[in-house]
Chain A
Amino acid sequence: MKLELRGITKRFGGLVANDQIDLVVEPGEIHGLLGENGAGKSTLMNVLYGLYDPDDGQILVDDQKVDFDGPGDAMAAGIGMVHQHFMLVPVFTVAENVMLGQEHVRRAGFLDLEAARRQVSEISQRYGFHVDPDAFVEDLPVGVQQRVEIIKALVRKAKVLILDEPTAVLTPQETDELIGIMRQLKSGGTSIVFITHKLREVRAVADRITVLRRGQVVGQAAPTASETELASMMVGRAVLLRVDKGPATPGEATFVVENLTVADERAHLAVDDVSFEVRTGEILAVAGVQGNGQTELAEAIMGLRPAISGSVRLHGAELIGRDVRHVLGAGVGFVPEDRTVDGLVSSFTVAENLVLDLYDRPPFGSGLSLRLGELRANAEQRVEEFDIRTTSTESKAETLSGGNQQKVVVARELSRPLKLLLASQPTRGLDVGSIEFVHKRVVRERDQGTPVIIVSTELDEISALADRIAVMYRGRLVGIVDGGTNRDVLGLMMAGIPVDEAVAQAQARPTVVEHLDDGSATTAGQDGVPT
């Protein structure tokens, strides 16, 4: 099936999210759609999937003009979509999920689960998916859940499969498997639109690459194009692909975590007997696939979540058992992983957000009253220093772009003398310019002698920033390795394999993605914002 988009334009108020976009997906082609967060990739795909009505332009399937009123129409036309966040019912089995929305019924309205199970087994066998139709989705690893989504699309006879940032939640090894699956689907005649901002992956698998920037197609590229080339197309200027950072000069270990154990909401052990220390002037990166206890570790350090046992000491003073206010007061700067939930009050002004954890201390609070003049002066200074792009310090935070929102959070946390900086996913969903800026500030903080902990699921970010890397898997620390450790080794450790074994395995079976020609360069993009 040939899919063609002609002159697609989609506006949101004054903002043009898609501007006259042309895109042709040939039958049996893997088409990479590359662009930064906010470039309009997801909007375009939502138009294609019938979720948005385009303001202008046409969609053609096999040279016939089509009109999609909703995902149902798109599915009927043979377009399947795997969203970044899976649309599965966790308490249903694979077969039940697959038949959801397209239930087969036998006489008297009984569900024909047997038919759905047969379909799952058949597709699973044909492509070597290894998916058990009777497994409950919530028990499956993320990579397998993704395959269930793909099966869902295939059962609905999808000829074009849209994968929206499919690798954001996968380890490098799982990504490798996905790439294998994509190639198999392609050889079976299915076309794939692969949306990503990760240069490495798109080069590894795509037949053709279309690059979007600010809602426009800025060009096409062959997978042989170098990463630097793609990155500059994506960003619109030459991009420095690595963080400019000198060697660390670690001093004393002022921050010590010992045997820390933390439970999550369901009373499962989220952090299990974790110990590490961070020295002044070094960056320790905590790596791991999302949901392996990093979030809970950070929350326990901050006093946002009670610890079951263990100790966290900063300059010898115990932080466990103290509330957030005390921990912040002890000199810990905290950049939470989700800025819109934990970092900012979106209906507050930029000035107010810049003092969110300082409002009642001098000079901002005196007695019972708030000194608005001081708030304004502080805001003007920070906006200048951190290059926060806002129309005014009195603008609401929600009117800022993601990158500028994050700068507000970072500016606030770095605006006081720190004894520890703890930043979770500091560049998630940011554009390249903001990523560079945030990384630079983090490194500067390190160079001033502050111990820094970066929690990130993004290997690119980890390799770019870390002096040492602690890898977490299912709440346990798999190991702490040097900052320059090979990505394949890190990937295997993220799947729970101990260091020595991981090194041996990585040498025996290197992944496709790691060993592209200029694979040594770090990529520009970071983890996508959830859409």
Chain B
Amino acid sequence: MSDERQPPASNEPDGTAHPAERSPGAVQPSPDDTSEVWSRRLVRELTGGTALLTILSVVLALAIGGILIAISDPDVQDAWSYFFSQPGDTFSAAWDSVSSAYSAMFSGAIVDFNEYNIGRALRPLGETLTNATPLIAAGLSVALAFRAGLFNIGAEGQIIFGAILAAYVGFAWDLPVGIHLVLGVLAGMLGGAIWGGIVGVLKARTGAHEVITTIMLNYVARFLLLYLLTTSLFQRPGASNPISPPIVESAQLPRLLGSGSRLHLGFVVVLLAALFVWWLLSRSTAGFQFRAVGANPHAARTAGMSVERSYTSVMLIAGALAGLAGVSQVLGTERVLTTGISSGFGFDAITVALLGRASPWGTVAAGLLFGALRAGGVTMQAGTGTPIDIVLVVQSLIVLFIAAPPLVRAIFRIRVAGVESPVSDLQKGWNA
């Protein structure tokens, strides 16, 4: 464990941890400790990376995505068969398929140049922002927990439970305009906070690892939703499929661009949430404590902070943020509670937070990118027949590259200024 106790000792070569690690027979720390070390390292790696590397990772992922599009395209495959007689055909076919797929993606995500009406041309952008809304909210949840030293894999469950409560207030209660919406939003955030808070309390009281508990609570939330939608309390009267009554209009998040777009007020609320998280992390005493506990719980405890209380509070807030994602889905986008209400936003949120380097504004940017990929992927599939799975591949590659900065550096031949680091912290993984 000696290496845990040392920062990368740039000023003191005598104090570097490498010799011990690389020596034969070095005593390995117990697995319990290493997972803590590993997680803290990951957080440091994520928050310490450069914006350049992030952008390059995205570029690289899109490039490899392009190769996959070309390979899987039937026209390109045909051209391959006579590659040696007319190699140009192969390349032009490949170029055609990649450019048409990506331009379809662009027109589905940002602006559609085939529409002359400005409102309709920008409709794809609205769709991107609509998709980005829950991604940003849940991404903020994951990012905040990251900074406080917790891996919130449970945004999915928190979204679902938040959506359940928000939906119930939304369809079952009858309240005046304004109050109804506010209560609906609060109920959703409360739901998420409860689901996250359980994790925090378990971690603080019993030391149960949050990765395990969040994953399990995801299942609980999912099957709870399936069950509830079969009960008379939640199932729409007369419906045979699992669907709730529609959300009452007074509880709906109003559309921002009229009826032509699904973009709703939730997007603004989520931006305010990002502002709140930024303030919390960089300008508040509570955030100072969260960050200290996240970066070094030993020092935080020695300085008189309550690590346990910090875990609980962070998970409550993170849960509420994920709950907000559920709210935006059920009161804004879908306006009805279905079994697929979260449609994987909670898992994409982990990627979004990774890509955003666990910073609030980075998460907003990453959420917008992923929103665009989601919106554009649909158009791409419809327009060019390129499978939407390519989007998933691109997303996964982005994460892969971000988790392996030395790989990206090697590909683009970026030299690291400062200390020579033969092995990245993340690569050392569990044994470091």
A15 & B18 in contact (Cβ 8 Å cutoff): no
- Tell me if B5 counts as interface (CB < 8 A to partner A): yes
- Tell me if B419 counts as interface (CB < 8 A to partner A): yes
A360 & B13 in contact (Cβ 8 Å cutoff): no
Q: Which residues of A contact B418 (CB under 8 A)?
A: 13-14
Q: Which residues of A contact B11 (CB under 8 A)?
A: 15, 38, 399-402
- Tell me if B118 counts as interface (CB < 8 A to partner A): no
A100 & B305 in contact (Cβ 8 Å cutoff): no
Given contacts A40-B14, A340-B6, A348-B292, contact A87 B23 (CB under 8 A): yes
- Tell me if B420 counts as interface (CB < 8 A to partner A): yes
Chain A stretch 25-59: residues in CB contact (< 8 A) with chain B: 37-43, 46, 49, 51-52
B284 & A369 in contact (Cβ 8 Å cutoff): yes
Kindly report which residue of chain B lies nearest to residue A10, judged by CB atoms: B13
- Tell me if B51 counts as interface (CB < 8 A to partner A): no
Q: How many interface residues does chain B have, given as a range?
A: 35 or more
A83 & B283 in contact (Cβ 8 Å cutoff): no
Q: Which residues of A contact B8 (CB under 8 A)?
A: 398
B13 & A530 in contact (Cβ 8 Å cutoff): no
Q: Which residues of B contact A345 (CB under 8 A)?
A: 291-292, 295-296, 299-300
Nearest-Cβ distance from residue A131 to partner chain B, whole angstroms? 18
- Tell me if B411 counts as interface (CB < 8 A to partner A): no
Nearest-Cβ distance from residue B31 to partner chain A, whole angstroms? 16
A85 & B20 in contact (Cβ 8 Å cutoff): yes
Of B286, B287, B304, B419, most A-chain CB atoms within 10 Å: B304
Given contacts A324-B302, A360-B289, contact A429 B15 (CB under 8 A): yes
Q: Which residues of A contact B417 (CB under 8 A)?
A: 13
B19 & A51 in contact (Cβ 8 Å cutoff): yes
Nearest-Cβ distance from residue B43 to partner chain A, whole angstroms? 9
- Tell me if A185 counts as interface (CB < 8 A to partner B): no
Nearest-Cβ distance from residue B258 to partner chain A, whole angstroms? 39
Q: Which residues of B contact A340 (CB under 8 A)?
A: 5-7
- Tell me if B239 counts as interface (CB < 8 A to partner A): no
Q: Which residues of A contact B20 (CB under 8 A)?
A: 83, 85, 531
Judged by DSSP, the binding face of B is helix
Nearest-Cβ distance from residue B271 to partner chain A, whole angstroms? 21
Kindly report which residue of chain A lies nearest to residue B2, judged by CB atoms: A530
- Tell me if B205 counts as interface (CB < 8 A to partner A): no
Nearest-Cβ distance from residue A204 to partner chain B, whole angstroms? 23
B303 & A357 in contact (Cβ 8 Å cutoff): yes
Q: Which residues of B contact A133 (CB under 8 A)?
A: none
- Tell me if B413 counts as interface (CB < 8 A to partner A): no
- Tell me if B27 counts as interface (CB < 8 A to partner A): yes
Q: Which residues of A contact B10 (CB under 8 A)?
A: 12-13, 15, 398-399
Whole-angstrom distance between the alpha carbons of A90 and B27 in the complex?
9
- Tell me if A302 counts as interface (CB < 8 A to partner B): yes
Whole-angstrom distance between the alpha carbons of A327 and B303 in the complex?
10
B420 & A341 in contact (Cβ 8 Å cutoff): no
Whole-angstrom distance between the alpha carbons of A50 and B20 in the complex?
13
Q: Which residues of B contact A444 (CB under 8 A)?
A: none
B25 & A324 in contact (Cβ 8 Å cutoff): no
A344 & B13 in contact (Cβ 8 Å cutoff): no
Kindly report which residue of chain B lies nearest to residue A366, judged by CB atoms: B285
A402 & B15 in contact (Cβ 8 Å cutoff): yes
B292 & A356 in contact (Cβ 8 Å cutoff): yes
Instruction: Return the contact of A38 from the options B14, B48, B279, B420 (Cβ within 8 A).
Output: B14
- Tell me if B288 counts as interface (CB < 8 A to partner A): yes
Whole-angstrom distance between the alpha carbons of A368 and B284 in the complex?
6
Kindly report which residue of chain A lies nearest to residue B23, judged by CB atoms: A87
- Tell me if A264 counts as interface (CB < 8 A to partner B): no
Chain B stretch 274-317: residues in CB contact (< 8 A) with chain A: 279, 283-289, 291-292, 295-296, 298-306
Nearest-Cβ distance from residue B358 to partner chain A, whole angstroms? 12
Whole-angstrom distance between the alpha carbons of A89 and B14 in the complex?
24
Given contacts A12-B13, A42-B13, A372-B283, contact A304 B302 (CB under 8 A): yes
- Tell me if B12 counts as interface (CB < 8 A to partner A): yes
A365 & B285 in contact (Cβ 8 Å cutoff): yes
Given contacts A13-B418, A530-B2, contact A324 B301 (CB under 8 A): yes
A42 & B14 in contact (Cβ 8 Å cutoff): yes
- Tell me if A529 counts as interface (CB < 8 A to partner B): yes
Given contacts A37-B12, A85-B2, A341-B296, contact A101 B25 (CB under 8 A): yes
- Tell me if B410 counts as interface (CB < 8 A to partner A): no
Whole-angstrom distance between the alpha carbons of A328 and B4 in the complex?
26
- Tell me if B335 counts as interface (CB < 8 A to partner A): no
Q: Which residues of B contact A14 (CB under 8 A)?
A: 418
Nearest-Cβ distance from residue A161 to partner chain B, whole angstroms? 16
B5 & A338 in contact (Cβ 8 Å cutoff): yes
Chain B stretch 387-432: residues in CB contact (< 8 A) with chain A: 417-420
Q: Which residues of A contact B305 (CB under 8 A)?
A: 325
- Tell me if A342 counts as interface (CB < 8 A to partner B): yes
- Tell me if A451 counts as interface (CB < 8 A to partner B): no
Chain A stretch 70-121: residues in CB contact (< 8 A) with chain B: 71-72, 83, 85, 87-90, 100-101
B23 & A51 in contact (Cβ 8 Å cutoff): yes
- Tell me if B24 counts as interface (CB < 8 A to partner A): yes
Q: Which residues of A contact B16 (CB under 8 A)?
A: 12, 531
Q: List 26 A-B contacts (CB under 8 A).
A: A11-B420, A12-B16, A12-B419, A15-B13, A38-B11, A42-B13, A52-B18, A83-B23, A85-B2, A88-B27, A100-B25, A324-B303, A327-B304, A345-B291, A345-B295, A347-B44, A347-B47, A347-B295, A347-B296, A348-B292, A356-B303, A360-B288, A365-B285, A369-B285, A370-B284, A398-B7
List the 10 closest pairs (A to B, CB-CB), nearest first. Answer: A325-B304, A17-B13, A398-B7, A357-B303, A346-B7, A365-B285, A13-B419, A356-B303, A401-B11, A342-B302
- Residues of B whose CB lies within 8 Å of any CB of A are 2, 4-16, 18-20, 22-27, 44, 47-48, 279, 283-289, 291-292, 295-296, 298-306, 417-420
**Given A12-B16, A369-B279, A529-B12, 4 additional A-B pairs, CB 8 A:** A14-B418, A17-B14, A85-B20, A530-B15
